[in-house]
Amino acid sequence: MKKYSAFAIVSLVSLVADQWTKHLATQSLKPLLPGAKVVWQDWFELRFAENTGIAFSLFQDLAWGRVLLSLVGGIAVLFLFFFLRRPESSRKIVQVGLGLLAGGALGNLIDRIAHGRVVDFIFVRHGSFAWPLFNVADSTVVIGVFLLLLFGKEKK
C-alpha cells in the first residue's frame, strides 16, 4: 500500500482543493453575476459560470449529456486505478501525475453527478486572447497529463 501513497495524497489534495475553490466561487462570485473580480488587470479574473458540458462548454445541449459525461468520467477514473497497478506506477512522478488526473476527474465527476453541472471560475486573457473559463480540477488534469507525457516513460 505504501507504493500508492503519493497517488492517494495528491488525489485527495487535488479533490479537496477543487471542491473548496468551487464552493468559494459559488459563495463569493455567483452573487456578482454577470460581473467579475479582477485579480490582475488585463490578465486574470475570477468569474462564475456553470458548465453542463465538457471543456469549453462543448456538448451542453445534449439531452443525455449528464449521464454520458458522468459515465465517461467514471470510466476514466477506473482506468487510472487500473494503470496504477502497472509497474511504471512505482515511480513517484507517475503516481503524482495519476493522482492529479484522478483528483481532477473525481472533482468534476462529483459536481456532474450531484449538481448536473461543473462550476468554472478562472478566466485568463490578454488583449484579444481569452481562454475559456476553467477550474482547479481542469488544471490538475492538464498538469497530470503533462507530467505523464514528460516523465511517464521509464528511461532505458
Which of the two residues, 21 and 62, has the higher pLDDT score? Answer: 21
Res 135 pLDDT > 60: yes
Backbone angles phi, psi at 117, to 5 degrees: -160, 165
- Looking at residue 115, its amino acid is H
To the query of whether residue 120 is one of the catalytic residues in this protein, the response is yes
E runs forming strands in the chain: 36-40, 44-51, 118-126, 129-134
The confidence band for 105, taking pLDDT boundaries of 50, 70 and 90, is: very high
Pull the grid cell for residue 3: 507504493
What pLDDT score does 20 carry? 98
Please identify which of the residues 18, 42, 61, 120 carries the catalytic annotation: 120
Residue 62 has pLDDT above 70, yes or no: no
Dihedral sign of CA atoms 141, 142, 148, 149 in order: positive
Rounded distance between C-alpha atoms, residue 136 and residue 138, angstroms: 5
| Catalytic annotation present for 111 | no
**Does the pLDDT value for residue 64 go beyond 70?**
no
Q: pTM here?
A: 0.84
Query: Other CB atoms closer than 10 Å to residue 37's CB: what's the count?
Result: 15
